[in-house]
Amino acid sequence: MGRRRDERGWVATFLLVAAFLGLCAVPVLVYQGVWARVTFIGGQSAETIAESHRLLRAALITALAASLVGLATGWWLRSTASVVVMSLVLFGSVVILVGATVEPSEPMPSPTHCQERSGGDNDCPGG
């Protein structure tokens, strides 16, 4: 009986450590994904935008997988703290997933006619 409990403890420890390391990788992936999109000179190419999306998608998948592993392990061990923490991480990941899948609204159209601005500058064609 004692040996079986020890094996369960090692498996649970391994799973919780794996979930923790996965969650530690998420901020690194998000950081890389955000900085892959930042450009200082010139415009963004389709390749850099695709790289940014790939890194952010990897961060989201890692967060979902790690929180599900941690949640299942906490449930298996009947550890309330693990279940609560991993449930919060899972909820946050789902909120980010929903926010990432929502299509942005159309940008405001630019004015189609000349608009005078304050300050006396008149950049309208024809004076």
pTM, two decimals, is 0.64
CA separation for the pair 71, 121 (Å, rounded): 62
pLDDT at 126: 58
Closest Cα to residue 69, out of 14, 26, 19?
A: 19
CA separation for the pair 101, 57 (Å, rounded): 11
Distances (CA, A) of 28 to 7, 18, 72, 113: 32, 16, 24, 46
Contacts of 60 (CB under 8 A, 6+ apart): 93, 96, 97, 100
| pLDDT higher than 80, residue 41 | no
Higher-confidence position of 2 and 64? 64
Q: Give domain status of residue 35, yes or no.
A: yes
Q: Give domain status of residue 112, yes or no.
A: no
Q: Give domain status of residue 122, yes or no.
A: no
Higher-confidence position of 57 and 120? 57
Range of the domain at 43: 2-101
89-125 per-position pLDDT tens digit: 888 888 877 766 666 566 666 666 676 666 666 666 6
How many structural domains compose the chain? Answer: 1
| pLDDT higher than 80, residue 127 | no
Residue 29 pLDDT class (50, 70, 90 cuts)? confident
pLDDT at 32: 87
Higher-confidence position of 38 and 29? 29
| pLDDT higher than 80, residue 13 | yes
Tokens of 59: 């961060």
Q: Give domain status of residue 57, yes or no.
A: yes
Q: Give domain status of residue 111, yes or no.
A: no
Q: Give domain status of residue 123, yes or no.
A: no
Q: Give domain status of residue 78, yes or no.
A: yes
Q: Give domain status of residue 121, yes or no.
A: no
pLDDT at 92: 84
